[in-house]
Amino acid sequence: MSKKFNATFLKYNNFLPLENVKGLFCYIIEHYGYDGLSVLYQKENDDIAINIGDWHGNTLDPKNFDDIDTKFMVDTLPNIVSLITIMGIGQCQLFFAKSDELVLTDLQLSLNKMAGPGFIDNIFKNTCNVQKIIKIETIDDNCIENIEKGTGSYKNDLILKPSRYRNFHDTDLDTYRPLYSEFKR
């Protein structure tokens, strides 16, 4: 795992307002914040390279890791790398939100393709901590009203991700990003 390939970290995407996912079948997820670690995985033939960065696109020096980072690199990352290798993925970037522990939130395969939240939950939940799914439902007017009121399971800050990955096209900037929305109290 010592070979270094030429790749650049992608920044974690900003969230869109809640109304962007209206009418879509979405995973409603406990908000995981705006910061964490990124793991860039690349495999070429039998060589594997792993680079560690932050959610802002910066490469991190392992000498500066705290206890949470170090424990993750030693105890969890090798199992994740094995799983990704077995799945036959050539390159991806994993995003781990950070608080008291690292939690897998996203797996980006290319600029326009990310694994859905159900895939992450089903494949990785026995290997590492994954984002907390509160429920899965179609985002309609009633759902939005309950989210805004903070009733029942909607009482905390939330992230909404469509069950099938979708891009949002910003026509002003002519850019694409994941159609992920948030609701913050």
Tens digits of residue pLDDT in 117-158: 999 999 999 999 999 999 999 999 999 999 999 988 899 999
- Reduced to 3 states (helix: H, G, I; strand: E, B; else coil), residue 19 is helix
Q: What pLDDT shows up at residue 2?
A: 46
Confidence of residue 177 (pLDDT cuts 50, 70, 90): confident
pLDDT tens digits, one per residue of 55-93: 999 999 888 899 999 999 999 999 999 999 999 999 999
Give the pLDDT mean for 163-173.
88
Q: What pLDDT shows up at residue 84?
A: 95
Confidence of residue 1 (pLDDT cuts 50, 70, 90): very low
Domain range list for the chain: 14-32+132-185, 34-131
pTM > 0.85: yes or no = yes
Answer whether CATH 1.10.3470 is correct for domain 34-131: no
